[in-house]
Homo-oligomer: A and B are copies of this chain.
């Protein structure tokens, strides 16, 4: 089997939904779920364009699911042929993740005739607005079929509908196809979806063994330019029309070749090669599959966009950007495509105003970034994020209000970018302002305890969301300290050199920021080397994960919130103190890493796909190779296996897991290869799994691009 390929023949509802995620295709401008050609909204088909959101009434804002231009439905004797048809003989679908090509082969028995449909689809990596489909029908007997081809406007929505159709028109030049002119409901954003097919009839008469091939070209356009500004009143449909006609002219083969070339280019620096035996080959496959997903959703074609927590795979989590981008996804791009990594920062710069609005709304200064960020930076996270399984009532959660560590993740990311690329331009272009505004927020959020003569941070939620409204979360406090230290450092540099308006606005905060840096309470290791995740954490019930699980009365119960089964125990959702020890490992000796790993790991549900890689990296750093390999499997298999958590309370949280994919890269590069930058130099402390012979990857540091080859014995750095 092709090492760059996965396949599945599942046809159950569950399989269809999972394959929608697993066999997702994307080109960064848009994403298309891995459903079959005849799938409709009941199979959760999806065509998501990055950064386009809409709100229906007072429901959650979420990505707009665009009309599906690749819909083809065959029928025999009036009965549609689907994966649910009694006449289905066999079905297999595949994803080639070297090139993002989805294919399927399905056989039906039509009254004795064996009918085969084979199709291939890709979202062009060279022409970001274009989707292509080749659809081949063969029968072993003469047969006549019905066929419907259309832009399917009946789309799946979690909280829709999100658009109205303003006009349907011909695609032009006498071609067989159509253009749908639509407008979103909330912002009245115009968009167009066009399709051309080289087959026009609504019936097909097949001769035995003579295939009929249908090629479909589609184009998707919004009226946002690459800077996300609405364009002058140019008819969007005109773009769509021109574009889809050009595609049709270029033809399938050319488009496919260009598409593949673009992917080849991506893999030049984006690939990580793992050599070794069978196990290594599996690790390799899982890693490449992860990197494929990251590349499919990395924003392309428009500027200052980021990566939502479920990529472009679904409307899950409102299509919002979380800290996942900065702490889990960013590193891969930072070292392989820093220009893309920079877009993530540009996105935060662009949304700073939203973050300022949020801070002000809560009565704080500066900027408080959205926990769930959409195109304007206003928080898409609602006050009620979970539904109680017993009462069906919404449950007040505090993710939006209290997960203030989001700010620091952004600052950390900017500082990483500057440190690794040496590019300080981003600071002048808004990066500094982000840092200062984030710092101002923290300054107004820190409280001073006069009798203890120290600052504390109360009423927060750390990464472990099962424990809400805690005081002095170690991770949060440490990240706040980092933020304030960096803000002071940059402000003082700026003041000395060329004061910017941003640094000017921060000047008056410097003395207080310095005092907080000196006196902020950072929970330190106790006699056993253990750092309490937050105040009184060790006083809570210390019971096993199994005990907590056994208390569930309903498998869909939410574990956290005020009264969840985990809330008043030491059982945590995901890496929390361990994230801190990962980011700041230099500040702690290995005994502390060891102790906290041993304590927290059995108490962690790993109920978030963000957890495994963090534990895995500490497992590498502390020489726990066996554990590390398990965590690597976990983080790299979340999507390829499809075995991810599908529910949080009664809310569907399925989709792809870019953070776990980024975590796969981090585990290989940071973890097993022990890659780090110390004083602008690459350091390698490799600790490869037994089955691995060699890992090779690209790392750009400063202006240099390196090929890094790590073996069990040593490593080499080659300029690329």
Contacts and interface: CB of A to CB of B under 8 A. Distances in A.
Contacts of A591: none
A448 interface: yes
A390 B553 CA distance: 11
Interface stretch (A287-295, A337-345, A562-570, A655-663): A562-570
Interface in A609-667: none
Nearest to A384: B568
Contacts of A393: 563
Given A390-B390, A459-B458, A562-B563, A444 B448 contact: no
A568 B383 CA distance: 10
Contacts of A469: 469
A698 to B, nearest CB: 45
B451 A449 contact: no
Contacts of A390: 390-391
A456 to B, nearest CB: 8
A710 to B, nearest CB: 48
Given A391-B390, A458-B458, A396 B562 contact: yes
A512 interface: yes
A691 interface: no
A465 to B, nearest CB: 15
Interface residues of A, number: 30
A391 B444 contact: no
Given A390-B390, A562-B562, A450 B443 contact: yes
A568 B447 contact: no
A278 to B, nearest CB: 48
A395 B564 CA distance: 10
A443 B451 contact: yes
Given A391-B553, A563-B393, A450 B448 contact: yes
Contact of A447 (B391, B449, B512): B449
Nearest to A396: B568
Contacts of A396: 562-563, 567-568
B450 A365 contact: no
Contacts of A562: 396, 561-563
B444 A447 contact: no
Contacts of A443: 450-451
A651 to B, nearest CB: 16
Contacts of A561: 562-563
12 contacts: A393-B563, A443-B450, A443-B451, A444-B451, A447-B456, A448-B448, A448-B450, A451-B512, A458-B458, A469-B469, A561-B563, A563-B563
Interface of A: 363, 365, 383, 388, 390-391, 393, 395-396, 443-444, 446-451, 456, 458-459, 469, 512, 515, 535, 553, 561-563, 567-568
